[in-house]
Chains A and B, each alone.
Chain A
Amino acid sequence: MAVQVEALGAVKTGPSKKDIAVLVLLLALGALFILLGGTGTQPGDRSVFTDQVLGDLFVLPSQATLYAVGAFCFLVAGLRLFRALDSLRSVLNWSLVILSAFAFLVWITAGTSMNLPGMVQSTLMAATPLTLGAMAGIFCERSGIINIAIEGMMLSGAFAAVAFASLFHSLWMGLLAASLVGGVMALLHAVLSIKYKVDQIISGTVINILAAGATRFLNLRLLEPAGLSTPGSFDPISIPILSDIPIIGPIFFENQPTVFIMLILLVAVNYAIFFTPWGLRMRACGEHPRAADTVGVAVNKMRYLSVVIGGLIAGIGGAYFSLGVVGTFEDNMTRGQGFVALAAMIFGNWNPIGAFLAALLFGFANALQVKMQIIQPVLPLINQPIPPEFLQMAPYILTIIVVAGVVGRARPPAAEGKPYEKQ
């Protein structure tokens, strides 16, 4: 606590330190793009972006584009240095993020072509479980309960989805069961951390351990011997008419059911948390439970409810892995995505839309990484292809940077992690 105060003080008295860090990052990014353009591409290279239906969408000169994005980085750095256009800062930041992502695409497609809508769609797919997990975390944490058990809730959801989908021969029953089991795990978290006042990080760790052990155990001992482990996976649903719109149609209106559910929930959750009285009360429980209690909010009841709702959402996120992708259960199939979801939640500042954008960024890193395994672009100077694992690290590194307050500032709910006792 004291350290935090000190850190805050440091930011106030000497703001230059943080600004220097940002400047260095921006300059490094700009230099990277210029380097990629200068040595990673040939002068005549063109990046062709295509669509399955429309054919070529647009063609860009690779080298010039990279130089331009590099120059834009320097420009933003310069603006930061002289504190110009400060009111446009967030616009500039986001356009920088999008342009940087795009620049990477231009670089790896230099001299070849890429299906751009396909890329966007795989980004959205990869972002789906992350967003669902992050929303689960937001529900939990906005009400004041730390949730590092997203991974465990998603894993148990993934397992339940397979078990019940094969039992009832219905994928939708599987989805429902996934959600419910996620909710049950969350209830355990809630009981431990609210009723028994167990340290919430320990409680979360328990759920992660329990989920990993129990799903493997039950899979080996029940599902596989009983032949209940291959229910198949969801087919994409295409919404009539809308899915026929070129480019946008296939991206947004022809998808796995979980993707639609995620998009609907995103809107609903954002509305519920920020635009309803209930949401205000819920957030009050996470920020200042004593005050909430004083005006008649049943703090612990509210926390139970929020944690369980979060679990229900996390369960759906888990079903994405089993029913949405492979159609079976594999040991530890969430592979740490629950923690990436946690990262997305923090990166998005405990805000559903922010978390979604963060998830898109992480999802893009993932899609890019898959693409790069195919194209294998060679990194300039060292003449080695970039190992895909390095791009997989991006979410973790970005999260560390954000919690350290180098770029942006993560501000968690104030009363998080403290059990509430009525006086």
Chain B
Amino acid sequence: MAEQKNTPQWLRRFAAQPLWVRLAALTALIVLIALISKWLVLLLLIALGLWPLTLLLGLGVLALISTRKGGRPWMRAWLGARLRSLAVPALSVVTALLIGALVIMLTDQEVFHALAQGQIGEAVALAFGNLTRSYVALYEGALGNPFKILEAIVRALSGEGLRPILSAVRGPSDSLVQSVPYIFAGLAVALGFRAGLFNIGAEGQIGVGWLVAVVVGFSFSGLPMVVHLPLAIAAGAITAGLWAAIAGLLKAKTGAHEVITTIMMNYLVFRLSDWLLCGPLEFTQGTCRTQDIAESAYLPRFLGHPVTLHWGFVLALVVAALTWWFLFKTTWGFELRTVGANPKAARYGGMNVAKTFVLAMFLSGCLAGLAGVVQGLGITHNIALGFQAGYGFDSIALALLGKSHPAGVVGASLLFGMLRAGAGRMQSVAGVPTEIVQIVQALVIIFIAAPAIIRALYRLREARREGEEVTIFSRGWG
């Protein structure tokens, strides 16, 4: 294996140490990271806000490594392959944003008024002016204003403290916060896809996870955080997993198509939560909202107001890594992918297809549930009527965009998180409804799912079939 050969010297030396040394070293590393997490996060946010600089720096370092004498030729090949496979997704997003721009321009009231008065030049100028304002707001909402960040850094260095930096990096922070539930929900759908299951029920499972985590969050008081927080997270995830496993069980035992059962189960959750939130769980009459959770169940935030980024982000990245490990490095993951690729072959090979369906739905539900858990414990600290934010349906786009690979899902989630965070600002600054993002997302799914459109538009060649293709079939109902 190429990777084996390229394992750095220090890593091999580390692996040769006794177990307790390795464990102690890892623990020390984790504690150290946790201690300086605040500063790491601040650095991350600044790097995101100043991404052109960061990108240049990163590329420079990469170029240095890969061209160094006796360097890493595999790295160049690896990078090239990654960039090639990014062409269609990137162009899809760009095209969708362009169409979104067109929609914004064509629905502009001010432009209509100018046109009605016969001032065509004026109308065109207005259309482009308003569009620029909207997309600048979108950018600032998503990544902040780089000049403001630089200025804030200068001010902070001159002794004004962190406050100016915090408000300047609000954009990147909001994007990451929005991407957290996306990562979980996207992983949920992606894991389902890998098993050949189409989990449309993420929206409902999010609700279950959210609800249970919040209930656990406010039902106990006086527990230490190290007990309460993991308890709330696990309870939410596992309940959502069990809920989703019903669909897997029905498919395995009776052949009921998971798309129908999960759609119907979504609405069961919605109606049940309607009743619970305006009934037994309502805290103050007429609010249709639960009590706030105890502070020991809060997912802690890294920095002060207005940066709301919380530990759920780290949890999301860890879970994404675990999902990758599970899918590609474990026997169960292999069985799951085999069942997804060809259930008949899997059965012939002696795998338990029914068990795999149930397991896959359970894990998918756990992941989706976590999306609700992080919202409940990290952001809202309660659950209110109308909590459905569409993460569950967007997650199908994420899984497609990320080609059902955990790393791809994380990337796609960051992108969608940015869109969502930017849309909020675009609405308040330029008056463009946030739903434009939903339109853009729908277009992205169309282009990703039908790459022939993008290839025709940009005259791209058909991509070579590299490695395994993601297998998604509609196998009909029934």
Residues of A within 8 A of B (CB): 1-4, 6-8, 141, 146, 148, 192, 196-203, 205-210, 212-214, 216-218, 220-222, 225-226, 336, 339-340, 342-343, 346, 387, 389-390, 392-393, 396-397, 399-400, 403-406, 410-418
Contacts and interface: CB of A to CB of B under 8 A. Distances in A.
A36 to B, nearest CB: 21
Contact of B475 (A197, A209, A404, A417): A417
A214 B439 contact: yes
Interface of B: 103, 107, 109, 198, 200, 250-257, 259-261, 263-268, 270-272, 274-275, 279, 343-344, 347, 353-354, 357, 390, 393-394, 396-397, 400, 432-433, 435-439, 441-443, 445-446, 449-450, 452-453, 472-478
Contacts of B438: 209-210, 212-214, 216-217
A148 B400 contact: no
A267 to B, nearest CB: 26
A410 B478 contact: yes
Contacts of A1: 343-344, 475
A222 B435 contact: no
Contact of A412 (B107, B390, B442, B478): B478
**CB-based closest 10 A-B pairs:** A213-B438, A417-B474, A196-B450, A210-B442, A412-B477, A7-B255, A389-B275, A217-B435, A396-B264, A4-B255
Given A217-B439, A400-B250, A412-B478, 19 more contacts: A2-B344, A3-B343, A3-B353, A4-B255, A207-B442, A208-B393, A213-B438, A213-B441, A216-B433, A217-B436, A222-B107, A225-B109, A226-B109, A339-B267, A346-B260, A387-B279, A389-B271, A397-B268, A400-B256
Contacts, number: 186
Contacts of B259: 148, 201
Contact of B256 (A404, A414, A418): A404
B476 A416 contact: yes
Contacts of A346: 260, 477
A222 B432 CA distance: 11
B253 A7 contact: yes
Main secondary structure of the interface of B (DSSP, over half): helix
B265 A400 contact: yes
A208 B396 CA distance: 12
Residue among A7, A226, A406 with the most chain B CB within 10 A? A7
Contacts of A220: 433, 435
With most chain A CB atoms within 10 A of its CB, the pick from B255, B259, B271, B438 is B255
Contact of B476 (A8, A340, A390, A412): A412
Contacts of B109: 221-222, 225-226
13 contacts: A1-B343, A3-B251, A205-B445, A217-B439, A389-B275, A390-B271, A396-B264, A396-B268, A396-B271, A404-B256, A405-B254, A411-B478, A416-B474
Contacts of B452: 196
Contacts of B343: 1-3
A405 B435 contact: no
Contacts of B439: 210, 213-214, 217
A215 B272 CA distance: 27
Nearest to A191: B450
Nearest to A214: B439
Contacts of A216: 433, 435, 438
A396 B476 CA distance: 20
Contact of B272 (A197, A221, A389): A389
A395 to B, nearest CB: 8
A399 B250 CA distance: 13
Nearest to A286: B476
Contacts of A146: 474, 476-477
Given A2-B344, A220-B435, A399 B260 contact: yes
B449 A202 contact: yes
B446 A206 contact: yes
**Of residues B198, B250, B475, B478, which shows the largest number of chain A Cβ atoms within 10 Å of its Cβ?**
B478
Given A2-B353, A400-B256, A206 B478 contact: no
A206 B260 contact: no
Nearest to B348: A2
Contacts of A399: 260, 264
A199 B198 CA distance: 11
B437 to A, nearest CB: 8
B269 to A, nearest CB: 10
A193 to B, nearest CB: 9
B189 to A, nearest CB: 10
B435 A343 contact: no
B435 A214 contact: yes
A159 to B, nearest CB: 12
Given A339-B263, A400-B264, A392 B254 contact: no
Nearest to B393: A209
Contacts of B344: 1-2
Contact of A221 (B357, B394, B432, B445): B432
A374 to B, nearest CB: 17
B453 A206 contact: no
B442 A213 contact: yes
Contacts of B393: 205, 208-209
A192 B256 contact: no
Contacts of B268: 393, 396-397
A405 B441 contact: no
Contacts of B272: 389, 393
Contacts of B390: 209, 212
